[in-house]
Structure 1
Amino acid sequence: MSYKEYFNGKKIAIIGLGPHGEMIPDIKFLCKNKSSVTVFDMRTESRLKTIVPELSSTGIEKCILGKVDAEELLNFDLIIISPEISKKSIFLKKAIQAEIQVEFPDTLFFKLSPPVTLIGVMGQYGKNSVTMMIYEILKKSFSEYKDQGLFLINSETDSGVLSHLKKVKKDDVVLVRIQENLLNYYHEMHISPHVAVITSYVDFSILNFQTYNNFIVAPDEVVDMIKKEKDINSKAKILRTRPGMVPAGWKIENKISHHKDNIALAMQTCELFKVEQEEIREVIEDMPAQKGSVEFIKKIDFIEYYNDANSISPESTLSALKSLSNNRNTILILGGAYTGFDYTNMVKEISKYSKMIILLPGSGSLGIRPMLESLKDTVFVQSFSLEESLIKAKENAVKGDRILFSPAFDAVGIDISRKERGEKFVKIVRSL
């Protein structure tokens, strides 16, 4: 069955427009393919005032904001949920019990697409940077070949997912930034990337369906972790990466140490597709720094400010701290919504790199507060807002210090996203 036949006449519920309307390209695609689409989002119309106007021209049946009615979902043939929505959400329980199909855009794409070459980028941190490096390098390289398609699936961009079905063809390359919460669903579908690019520890079971002509590209420490996993049956070739692989003569604007780790991963991956190193260098040197990923904002009175608002895991924040800290000269602002990660190791290591920790409010912050309070060598204070946190950080910083906003938790509440909290931090810093 073609995707056109599959979508024709289907009653589809879309739950969640994405933090910044990332689902809109797919909504337009579904409407053009004669689906009857109803959109649900837990946010209010006032909160979505910049996104809702775009829906008026899509052809949807209706848009219901501020709630998701579990009973109403029983009237649909298919429910597609935005990647930040959990399949365990209470409003989906009845629909799942009624055996109504519930899909993420990613999983549905692979059920309907022709056979493609899948590059999957995964890990607790660095995914977005590595994904965009690989994409820009391959896009430039593939432009020389008329019939070689390249498609990007990244929930943090507005490129769409299902909308790629109208152009993707057999043997095209599909590059996916795989979120941690979706790894299990790839595994359930018996999907393993042909090239698995792994930045840090993840659930390695996604590798179980790799064959002898597949590849794993990962740093030394990740490869060592994979080899210790007794239940992993991947038959793929393993390619180790190290920051030293990046030639010393390359002009790299971002001097943070793990940026070279990311470049090495992208370089090794693209070399599998016969991209010359000189072409890789040209793209890397021209790429701007990723916003919200250990992003240098400003130096004020010899104190540097860094935005790492994309961090939602302890390992990501610890990695940023290790990269920036020099003799514990870093003041860390962290905290936010519960994520389910174990923060024990981060708290244990944090005193080695940070002289002061400022904790923001949030359901996740509550869980680590007792551990942070028990630290002996690091000053710990609580704050009720980002503005207050920056005031406290500035008051306690001295010449040569670095102030790092790396939350290690998700954004708080349905009315703010990682991007928005980063933009807020940058705005406050620039007003200092």
Structure 2
Amino acid sequence: MSNNETLKRLVILGAAESGVGAAILGKAKGWNVFVSDGGKIKPQFKEALEQNGIAYEEGGHSMDRVLAADSIVKSPGIPEKTDVMKKVRAAGIEVCSEIEFGYRYKGDSRIIAITGSNGKSTTTMLTYTLLKDAGYDVALTGNIGYSFARQIAERPCEWYVIEVSSFQLDDIHSFRPDVAILLNITPDHLDRYEYKFENYIASKFRITQYQKSTDHFIVNQDDKVIQEYLATHSIHATTIFFTMSNNIPENDGGFIDDGMMHIRYNGEYFDMSIHDLTIKGKHNQYNSMAAGISARIAGIRKEKLRETFTRFKGLAHRLEYVATIRGVDFINDSKATNVNSVWFALESMDKPTILILGGQDKGNDYTEILALVRQKVKAIICLGVDNKPIHDAFAHVVDTIIDTTSAHEAVHAAYSYAENGDVVLLAPGCASFDRFNNFEDRGEQFKEAVRNL
């Protein structure tokens, strides 16, 4: 797909941020673009399509138009098992993701791409902030901010920091970040991967598939799943590890030792106390090391790194401090939608905790957090429609397990059990769709309930 392939037919499946972004870029690059969405298109996306003179349909797919495409950009939310995708695959039409389509028009710009099961958004935002504070011409794209393709179409930059999901990586054919970061891998979205964890693992590692030795792959040395994969697969990029273990990388890398974060790159050292990091918790130390290494690769001076690390506040709904009421701290970690996220949240708590847990269960295995719950949790407040898995998992560990039906009710129940010096932690470990629109809605309702105490 090059610029001279004028008026070739490009079909975009899905009209949310990534699909509309690909459509706008395709139109700008001379494609004959048609957008097809099986559901209803949100008003802001419909308006963007109309402003750019892009043909679209909603509420179904006109398969004759879809199958007439020379190339198809598939939005990440569309599973392969849908009828439209089965017909597209059977027709043998090229399918790519929006990040792949954008990559083909990025020019000489450079890319830092971040993936992982947990911590992607915080690491992406921190990396972006490190570059922006240093005066770089940089954009925040992918699952956070504008889509990559839309950014290229409307305001191209010298640097792109992209949060990348496994779904976006599934349909790449040449996407090659200059710097790729893989934070961790825990079971998630297995319904999209034939319920095979190895398929999900392979999808995450696609972030480095097209990298060359001149590129960098920053990866968590402490993640057993990652280490097992690396033991049997070769990586072409220059691999740089970050770790909290005693197995400190001999060359470039990041590590925590005696309360200090150390980053070593190209023979130069950067270090600072973990207590000076404004984002707290062990998982955020991992995120900070990964972001810091990428920033050093990008050429950012150590003094600028230190300035940003000491003022970066993190993101809403990610271990977000809400308020202290009569000595009780309230923490919003609504983004903790799987058990591993709950583990990281609990691990960072240093006070007796009342845990608000539950939602749309994805077949959670709670054994991973049993030890931390036994050690730190005074009571569990359930916030799902079906809370039986939580009762079954923790009845022998926690004396008090209460069912509630709303964020308001959950906050009041938690507050009634809390004492001066305790913390109330919303870390649901589940999707939010049984009672809320999304994790943001859940977090906002939690914060509103806290403010109304």
- Fold conserved between structures, TM > 0.5: yes
Q: For 1:273, which of 290, 293, 298 is the aligned residue? A: 298
Counterparts of 1:191-340 in structure 2, within 5 Å, are 193-201=177-185, 203=201, 205-206=205-206, 207=208, 210-222=211-223, 225-226=226-227, 229-235=230-236, 236-240=238-242, 241-243=254-256, 244-245=260-261, 246-248=271-273, 251-326=276-351, 329-337=352-360, 339=362
User: Does 2:165 align with 1:179?
Assistant: yes
SS of 1:306's equivalent in the other structure is strand
The answer as to whether partners of 1:219 and 1:242 remain within 8 angstroms in 2 is no
SS of 1:268's equivalent in the other structure is helix
1:110 maps to amino acid: Y
Judged with a 3 Å threshold, the aligned counterparts in structure 2 of structure 1 residues 371 and 229 are, in CA distance, closer, same or farther, namely farther
Partners of 2:55 and 2:371 in 1: how far apart? Answer: 52
User: Does 2:95 align with 1:109?
Assistant: no
Partner of 2:193: none
Residues 392-401 or 190-199, more deviating: 190-199
Judged with a 3 Å threshold, the aligned counterparts in structure 2 of structure 1 residues 385 and 182 are, in CA distance, closer, same or farther, namely same
Partners of 1:340 and 1:181 in 2: how far apart? Answer: 20
Counterparts of 1:52-91 in structure 2, within 5 Å, are 52-64=46-58, 67-69=59-61, 71=63, 74-75=66-67, 77=69, 78-91=71-84
Counterparts of 1:331-410 in structure 2, within 5 Å, are 331-337=354-360, 339=362, 343-347=366-370, 349-361=372-384, 368-369=389-390, 371-377=392-398, 379-410=400-431
Judged with a 3 Å threshold, the aligned counterparts in structure 2 of structure 1 residues 41 and 392 are, in CA distance, closer, same or farther, namely farther
SS of 2:25's equivalent in the other structure is helix
Partner of 2:120: 127
The answer as to whether partners of 2:116 and 2:182 remain within 8 angstroms in 1 is yes
> What's the CA shift string for 1:149-189, capped at 9, x where partnerless?
645432121254354167769xx544321213344445xx3
The answer as to whether partners of 1:193 and 1:210 remain within 8 angstroms in 2 is yes
Cα displacement (A) at 1:281: 1.8
The answer as to whether partners of 2:99 and 2:148 remain within 8 angstroms in 1 is no
- Unaligned stretches of 5+ residues in structure 1: 144-148
- Unaligned stretches of 5+ residues in structure 2: 187-200, 243-253, 262-270
Partner of 2:25: 29
The answer as to whether partners of 2:327 and 2:420 remain within 8 angstroms in 1 is yes
Cα displacement (A) at 1:126: 1.5
Judged with a 3 Å threshold, the aligned counterparts in structure 2 of structure 1 residues 378 and 26 are, in CA distance, closer, same or farther, namely farther
Partners of 1:53 and 1:190 in 2: how far apart? Answer: 31
> What's the CA shift string for 1:275-300, capped at 9, x where partnerless?
11101122333434311110001111
The answer as to whether partners of 1:70 and 1:95 remain within 8 angstroms in 2 is no
Instruction: Report the number of matched residues.
Output: 410
Cα displacement (A) at 1:26: 4.0
Partner of 1:13: 12
The answer as to whether partners of 1:335 and 1:408 remain within 8 angstroms in 2 is yes
Judged with a 3 Å threshold, the aligned counterparts in structure 2 of structure 1 residues 138 and 70 are, in CA distance, closer, same or farther, namely same
> What's the CA shift string for 1:26-85, capped at 9, x where partnerless?
443344445333342635x7xx45665555423232442xx4347477455144343333
2:35 maps to amino acid: T
Partners of 1:81 and 1:385 in 2: how far apart? Answer: 36
Q: For 1:38, which of 32, 35, 39 is the aligned residue? A: 35
The answer as to whether partners of 1:122 and 1:180 remain within 8 angstroms in 2 is yes
User: Does 2:145 align with 1:157?
Assistant: yes
Residues 350-359 or 52-61, more deviating: 52-61
SS of 2:222's equivalent in the other structure is helix
The answer as to whether partners of 1:68 and 1:91 remain within 8 angstroms in 2 is no
2:24 maps to amino acid: K
Cα displacement (A) at 1:301: 1.9
Q: Provide the identity percentage.
A: 19
The answer as to whether partners of 1:13 and 1:76 remain within 8 angstroms in 2 is no
SS of 1:233's equivalent in the other structure is coil
The answer as to whether partners of 2:19 and 2:74 remain within 8 angstroms in 1 is no
1:281 maps to amino acid: R
The answer as to whether partners of 2:336 and 2:429 remain within 8 angstroms in 1 is yes
Residues 22-31 or 401-410, more deviating: 22-31
Q: CA RMSD in A?
A: 3.6
Judged with a 3 Å threshold, the aligned counterparts in structure 2 of structure 1 residues 163 and 175 are, in CA distance, closer, same or farther, namely closer
SS of 1:259's equivalent in the other structure is helix
> What's the CA shift string for 1:130-151, capped at 9, x where partnerless?
11121222234363xxxxx645
User: Does 2:442 align with 1:421?
Assistant: yes
SS of 2:232's equivalent in the other structure is coil
